[in-house]
Amino acid sequence: MTTAQTAHLPGAPGHEAHGGNGSHDMGEIQAFGFWLYLMSDLIVFSALFATYVVMAHNYAGGPTPKDLFELPAVLVETMLLLTSSAAYGLAMVAMHKGDLRSVRLGLVAAFALGLGFLVMELAEFHHFIGIGAGPDRSGFLSAFFTLVGTHGLHVTFGLLWIVVMLAQLASKGLTAPVKGRLTRLGMFWHFLDIVWIGVFTVVYLLGVVQ
């Protein structure tokens, strides 16, 4: 198997079985393809942000952001997600060194911190719905639950993906295809942190200011 052969076969079935020199080019192609997916996901989020900004003042006599949002809790959520992203970064550094144990440690840390974020978000949603501020209360709350919930759903799938990768690390070790998947999961995880910058600024901070 030569590099040239696999380089001409993007997405060809069975390339995983080789894992030789060619898979490095394959990894680059797949990473770029995954980058394009992330860009399309960013378009989805921008549509949800646009909807939120338009609906943000339609309270229908219901609670406003000032009544609902607890900024200290949101700050903790933000720090959890940010630290999770950094922990994943350290796992990537360990991956390039071939240090399997540190990769596992980084992934487990990223998972635990991400799970903490998700639990806090679900507790917030549960609290809002409990006090009658569910997505059916007003346009503002519909848009809020849709935007923040979509981000939370992405985090949920990211957590599932981390579990899958931990299982693959245990069964396959640090093979070239596993490294490629870890790289793409890293892009996904950092991307979710970037989307969250928009969420905490536009939804939470500006919500409380206005």
Partner 1 sequence: MSHSPTDNAGAAVGTVKSYALGFAASVVLTLVSFGLVMGGALPRLPLILALFALAVIQLFVQLRYFLHVDRSSAMYWNLMALLFTFFLMFLFIGGSIWIMYGLHERM
**Residues found near partner 1 in the complex (CB under 8 A):** 27-28, 31-32, 34-36, 39, 42-43, 46-47, 49-51, 53-54, 71-72, 74-75, 78-79, 82-83, 85-86, 89-90, 92-93, 96-97, 180, 183-184, 187, 190-191, 193-194, 197-198, 200-202, 205-206, 208-209
> Which residue lies nearer to partner 1 by CB, 112 or 208?
208
User: How would you label 56-87 residue by residue, b for 16+ Cβ within 10 Å and e otherwise?
Assistant: beebeebbbbeebbeeeebeebbebbebbbbb
Contact at 8 Å (CB) between 19 and 181?
no
Closest approach, Cβ 101 to partner 1, in A, equals: 16
Could you tell me the end-to-end alpha-carbon distance of the chain, in angstroms, rounded to an integer? 62
How far from the centroid of its chain's Cα atoms is residue 134's Cα? Answer: 24
Three-state secondary structure readout of 168-193: HHHHHCCCHHHHHHHHHHHHHHHHHH
The residue (of 90 and 129) whose beta carbon lies closer to partner 1 is 90
Q: Shortest Cβ distance from residue 200 to partner 1 (Å)?
A: 8
The least CB distance from residue 132 to partner 1, in Å, is 26
Please report how close the Cβ of residue 129 comes to partner 1 at its closest, in angstroms.
25
Q: Taking the complex as a whole, how short is the minimal distance between the CB of residue 54 and partner 1, in angstroms? A: 4
1 SS3 class = coil
Residue 55, CB-side half-sphere exposure with 13 Å CA sphere: 20
- Nearer to partner 1 (CB atom), residue 63 or residue 180: 180
CB closer to partner 1, 111 vs 196: 196
Sign of the dihedral defined by the CA atoms of residues 189, 193, 198, 204, in that order: positive
Residue 84 or 133 having the CB closest to partner 1: 84
